[in-house]
Amino acid sequence: MRTTSVRKLLPEAWGFLCPVHTPDGTPCGLLNHLAAACRVVTSTPPTVHLPKLLVSLGMTPLGAPTVAVGDTGSSSVSVLLDGRVVGEVSQAQAAEIAIKLRTLKALGKEKVPSTLEIGLVPVLTGGQYPGLFLMSGPARMVRPVLNLSTNTTEMIGSFEQVYMDIAVVPEEAIKDATTHMELDEKAMLSAIAQLTPYSDFNQSPRNMYQCQMGKQTMGTPAHSLPYRMDHKLYKLQTPQVPMVRPYAHDHLKIDNYPHGTNAVICVISYTGYDMEDAMILNKASYERGFAHASVYKTELIDLQSISKDRGGANLQFGVLPGDNTAKTGLEGNGFPPIGAYLQEGDAFYSYVDLDAGVSKVSYYKSIEPAYLEQIKLLGDESGEGRLQRVFLKLRVNRNPIIGDKFASRHGQKGICSQKWPVENMPFTESGMVPDIIFNPHGYPSRMTIGMMIETMAGKSAALHGLCHDATPFTFSEDNSAVDYFGRLLKKAGYNYYGNERMYSGVTGREFEADIFFGVVYYQRLRHMVSDKFQVRTTGPIDIVTHQPVKGRKRAGGIRFGEMERDSLLAHGSSFLLQDRLLNCSDRSLSRLCKKCGSLLSPMLVRGPSTGTTESSSRWRCQVCSDGGQIEIITVPYVFRYLVAELAAMNIRVELSTC
């Protein structure tokens, strides 16, 4: 996995694979995504007439006399259609036939398939095998470009693209050499990469991060929520339409599934709680519903799996009439009422054992409370009409708390560190209070200039009632984005650079520096501290080592590793280190023979019964036959296990005590 050659973007991949939308880290360059305009050929068009057409254009068919070298001054090359040789042409004729065939394809004449790939490989020293290769089969990628000679859109493949001259912008076109031009400068990007506003102003890794985080947002997952029973769905309760958005946002109809909120941000290092990637949330904004969200979970209750015999025929959902359902809160059908608030230990559902004639209640086990959103009855597969399987859909409220993850559309991710009271938030001369405080140290190293421009653009859009186009490559050196939005801000009576005078919410004094202030579209991501926090006092331990088990689901502990140990040693916190790695882990009392230094030899020897209350049993060393030098010491249990393992390999461990 350490090689780099397979990860590189080769020339034939331009326009077919997105150079931005790939994960960072181990799978970088190996896991790729198609460009938005790229299409995959899935059918085989009729090509029976193509050999006859090629002959009319000058190809010599198979079986006919070959082209003589002396007649044309060059050797002949083969013409292949879908891997099958159909004829030969001279090198000079091959270029002419390719141009004529491409023209017919671009104009849609002579029944030449629109997805036909026309790859002319010239005779080159050390190059590919020369010839005219025609491909029409499925499982190929094609993309649209502008054919300059016919002024029509032509679909080209990855094989022929290497031998074509395609200009990206008109300024790059060379007379009599450039044959094609890109339809759009952003055609190389995938659908998700095109959703990043002003991505040409950002450092490329930040655009890569946004492609990953754009798929992790809490947004609008579906419009058919009442009919869906997904295992887990994340839904933002109050999504908004971005005021600054690229062309792809409207083209892909992302507004049908909005995934963020327009947030007023100020770029200021206001408290110690916004250091690094932390961000402060306005508590009043939160109370008004900023980034409120829900998680929908589904529990499948299957009586056939509960019943160990008769395939669930002896069980049915419900409560017996004589049972007291008032205490459990269940209705007669065995389920809580729709909208019931469930906490850990509440009755979840009940079923009746027909053989025993008793009702059995199952209880809600999650520590996180939820609302019963919906009950879905599933049909019986046996055809006997018995209700055996039920979906219980739960809604868990997940409003922002400290530790939840947010991100702008520029790869600027941050953790909510505090919900700051609005009376202590900084405010502008007009009384505006930000929703989010963003630390200014997030800009210099990340170089997300696109977010700065979006801040100005969002501010001007709110002031003028506009919706700005944030498509990349629309601004240039002659028409800069900062100047365009700066003039709009100035027209509305604000500072040209988006700065404002602000006042401290604590002291009321005016800040000495102007503060960058504007509107940015923020996404709430599905990484929430409620899903990840891990804490325990005591709990399950490993049978062999007696150390805490790992895994959050198993109520395990967090690993205190070697690096953490080194940190405590560097701080001189020896007793804390002992507490973490011994007392809270696998502390055990063991007997040691001081004479021979063995942990394994002390054994409990039972003496004859004396008839008194005092026990005559005592500890003796099996090696020394001495019981007077047995001492109790504190060691990690895993050390005792190690000593036993070494003894099994005939390695003796001796311990000396002071």
Rounded Cα distance, 607 and 584, in Å: 36
Place of tokens 């991100």: 407
CA 458, 460, 465, 471 dihedral sign is negative
Tell me what pLDDT residue 69 has. 43
**Band of pLDDT at residue 385, cut at 50, 70 and 90:** low
Place of tokens 């990840």: 532
CATH number, residue 468: 2.40.270.10
Length of the chain, in residues: 658
Q: Does residue 71 surpass a pLDDT of 50? A: no
Q: Does residue 67 surpass a pLDDT of 80? A: no
Q: Does residue 304 surpass a pLDDT of 90? A: no
Is residue 575 in a domain?
A: no
Percent of the chain exceeding pLDDT 90 equals 77
Whether residues 360 and 260 fall in one domain: no
Mean of pLDDT values over 42-63: 93
Rounded Cα distance, 284 and 422, in Å: 6
For the chain, the domain total comes to: 4
Query: What 3-state class would DSSP assign to 602?
Result: strand
The tokens for 528 are: 């929430």
pLDDT per residue over 74-98, tens digit each? 589 999 999 999 999 999 999 999 9
Is residue 543 in a domain?
A: no
Whether residues 269 and 140 fall in one domain: no
Domain-ending residue, one of 506, 524, 542 = 524
Query: What 3-state class would DSSP assign to 489?
Result: helix
Which letter does DSSP use for residue 429 in this model?
T
Whether residues 214 and 272 fall in one domain: yes
Rounded Cα distance, 571 and 565, in Å: 10
CB atoms within 10 A of CB 471: 21
CA 516, 521, 526, 531 dihedral sign is positive
294 conformational bin, left if phi > 0, alpha if psi -120 to 50, beta if neither:
beta
**Band of pLDDT at residue 325, cut at 50, 70 and 90:** low
Rounded Cα distance, 480 and 458, in Å: 16
Whether residues 483 and 433 fall in one domain: yes
**Band of pLDDT at residue 72, cut at 50, 70 and 90:** very low
Q: Does residue 212 surpass a pLDDT of 50? A: yes
**Band of pLDDT at residue 39, cut at 50, 70 and 90:** very high
Residue-number span of the structural domain to which 154 is assigned = 39-183
CB atoms within 10 A of CB 416: 22
Q: Are strands 60-61 and 152-157 parallel, antiparallel or unpaired?
A: unpaired
Whether residues 177 and 211 fall in one domain: no
Least trusted range by pLDDT, from 425-439, 597-611, 612-626: 612-626
Whether residues 309 and 433 fall in one domain: no
Is residue 189 in a domain?
A: no
CATH number, residue 314: 2.40.50.150
CATH number, residue 611: 3.90.1800.10
Q: Could you tell me if 207 and 23 are in contact, meaning their C-beta atoms sit under 8 angstroms apart?
A: no
Which letter does DSSP use for residue 74 in this model?
S
Is residue 489 in a domain?
A: yes
Domain-ending residue, one of 524, 555, 579 = 524
The tokens for 637 are: 């249990």
The tokens for 256 are: 């049908």
Percent of the chain exceeding pLDDT 70 equals 95
Is residue 564 in a domain?
A: no
The tokens for 490 are: 């100035």
Least trusted range by pLDDT, from 144-158, 421-435, 585-599, 619-633: 619-633
Whether residues 446 and 319 fall in one domain: no
138 or 73, which is more confident? 138
Q: Could you tell me if 261 and 521 are in contact, meaning their C-beta atoms sit under 8 angstroms apart?
A: yes
Q: Does residue 442 surpass a pLDDT of 90? A: yes
- Compute CA distances 370 → 34, 332, 392, 395, 552, whole Å: 40, 21, 11, 6, 20
pLDDT per residue over 569-606, tens digit each? 999 999 999 999 999 999 999 999 998 999 999 998 87
Whether residues 418 and 472 fall in one domain: yes
Is residue 338 in a domain?
A: yes
Tell me what pLDDT residue 355 has. 83
Mean of pLDDT values over 57-78: 72
Query: What 3-state class would DSSP assign to 473?
Result: coil
Residue 419 sits at the vertex; the CA angle it makes with 414 and 424, to the nearest 5 degrees, is 115
**Band of pLDDT at residue 176, cut at 50, 70 and 90:** confident
The tokens for 493 are: 């009576």
Is residue 388 in a domain?
A: yes
CATH number, residue 165: 3.90.1070.20
Whether residues 164 and 264 fall in one domain: no
Whether residues 252 and 307 fall in one domain: no
Rounded Cα distance, 64 and 88, in Å: 9
Is residue 20 in a domain?
A: no
Mean of pLDDT values over 119-148: 94
CA 214, 220, 222, 227 dihedral sign is positive
pTM here is 0.87
Domain-ending residue, one of 168, 183, 198 = 183
Whether residues 634 and 599 fall in one domain: yes
Mean of pLDDT values over 604-619: 70
Q: Does residue 104 surpass a pLDDT of 90? A: yes
Whether residues 514 and 436 fall in one domain: yes
Q: Does residue 4 surpass a pLDDT of 90? A: no
Tell me what pLDDT residue 419 has. 97
Q: Could you tell me if 471 and 186 are in contact, meaning their C-beta atoms sit under 8 angstroms apart?
A: yes
